[in-house]
Amino acid sequence: MRTPLALLITLLVVGTAAAQEIVDGIAAQVGSEIVLISEVQQIAEPAERRLHEQGATDKEIAMLHAEILERMIERALIRQVVRRAELDATEAEIDSAIESIATENGLSIEQLKKSVEAQGLPFKIYRERIRSEIEHAKVINGMIGARVRVEEKDIRALYDEEYADQPTGGTEVHLRHILVPFDSEDPASRRLACDQTQKALLRIRGGESFGEVAAEVSTVNPEQGGDIGWLHASSLAPWMTNAIDPLPAGGTSEVIEMPFGCNLLHVVSKRPYEQVTYDAVRGRLADFLYQQRLGEEYSKFIEELREQTYIELKGVFADAARLGDEGKTSADSIDLDLGKDRF
């Protein structure tokens, strides 16, 4: 899987400058390891800053810290498994991973090093983060992956669930759509919207591509140039069917006024519909089930480790953890540099 350099650096860099003012202490004990307050605050700093900008409460910030600490405890548990099972990453494996990251981003190792350090992260620490990711992947792919079973009947059941209602024939069409909405109770709004749509049609007939015009004026997937993908003819609304039936591939409709707005439809292509066969999607469905069950087994594995390990939260983190019983933390929607396999 490709690892964009900017994303990897963003995920691995922590707020080192913010940590300079921290009075340190112990946030949690995990077996023989301790997690420091400064470590939690370093990782929390970027997300905490964003939450503050969004007007988060002190309680939400405390719950963010508690969630991050929980993920750090999870990583500490994994590190202990790595030591016991002798799954340590070798220097050669780390070198290979770093070389792959550099190659994927079109950089030399020296350029990668400069890029990482320009973000405030010493390359030595960057290597240790890569080591941690490799070891985490070894535990997941080896010890946990061995627990996962995906049987043929499970894949077949998922196929039947996803594709049971697919059409047996007919035609499908690849469409682009320009929609300029208006207030149906305001004639001036309607006229303005339809005038704008008519001008868009004239631009298209003048040689501009439908996608370029749609990106400027449409409220339907403007970032995709109004592309709404392949649709089976039977799934189209009657007003759409009536407009595109006479159009060849590459054709654009006249302005279509509907109660919700003025429209243009563009036929990119048409083709006979072919049912999605089991063999065509079996691999994708099997991978989906595997990843789903791998996540379930990972959660069970972590719970087993927690039950077998002495874990104690300290001070305010113990209080914050109790708040977590009241609901989900704001951290749930934040991508943190913990618990993810990026190789």
For residues 211 and 119, the model is more confident at 211
What is 5-150+295-333's CATH topology? Triger factor/SurA peptide-binding fold (1.10.4030)
CATH 1.10.4030.10 intervals, the chain: 5-150+295-333
Strand, helix or coil at 173? strand
The pLDDT tens digits for 272-302 are 999 999 999 999 999 999 999 999 999 999 9
The mean pLDDT value for 317-343 works out to 47
Bridge partners, residue 87, by sequence: none
DSSP 252: B
Q: How confident is the model at residue 319 (pLDDT cuts 50, 70, 90)?
A: low
Mean pLDDT to the nearest integer, 236-258: 96
**CATH, range 171-272:** 3.10.50.40
- Cβ neighbours around 26 below 10 Å, total: 14
Burial letters for 106-140: b for 16+ Cβ neighbours within 10 Å, e otherwise? Answer: eeeeeebbebbeeeebeeeebbebbbbbbbbbbbb
CA atoms within 13 A on the CB side of 46: 12
Whether 323 shows a pLDDT value over 60: the answer reads no
Where in the chain is CATH 3.10.50.40? 171-272
Strand runs (DSSP E) across the chain, as ranges?
A: 26-30, 33-36, 171-181, 227-232, 256-258, 261-272, 311-313
From the list 238, 226, 227, the residue with the least C-alpha distance to 197 is 226
Q: Kindly list the strands in the beta sheet with 33-36, ordered across the sheet, starting from the edge strand earlier in the chain.
A: 33-36, 26-30, 311-313
Q: DSSP character for 53? A: H
| Average pLDDT value for residue range 197-224 | 96
Non-local CB neighbours of 78 within 8 Å, separated by 6+ positions: 135, 136, 139, 305
- Residue 196, phi then psi, degrees to nearest 5: -65, -40
Q: In what order do the strands lie in the sheet with 227-232?
A: 227-232, 171-181, 261-272, 256-258
Q: Which residues neighbour 50 within 8 Å (Cβ) at sequence distance 6 or greater?
A: 334
pLDDT of residue 119: 84
Mean of per-residue pLDDT scores for the chain: 86
Task: Report how far residue 228's alpha carbon sits from residue 223's, in angstroms, rounded to the nearest whole number.
Answer: 11
State the Cα angle at 42 between 4 and 128, rounded to 5°. 55
Q: What is the pLDDT of residues 100-115, one digit of tens each?
A: 999 999 999 999 999 9
Phi and psi for 244 in degrees, rounded to 5? -95, -15
Give the tokens for residue 223.
């970032």
Q: For the chain, what is the largest distance between any 2 Cα atoms, rounded to a whole number of angstroms?
A: 74
pLDDT tens readout for residues 56-97: 898 888 888 888 999 999 999 999 999 999 999 999 999 999
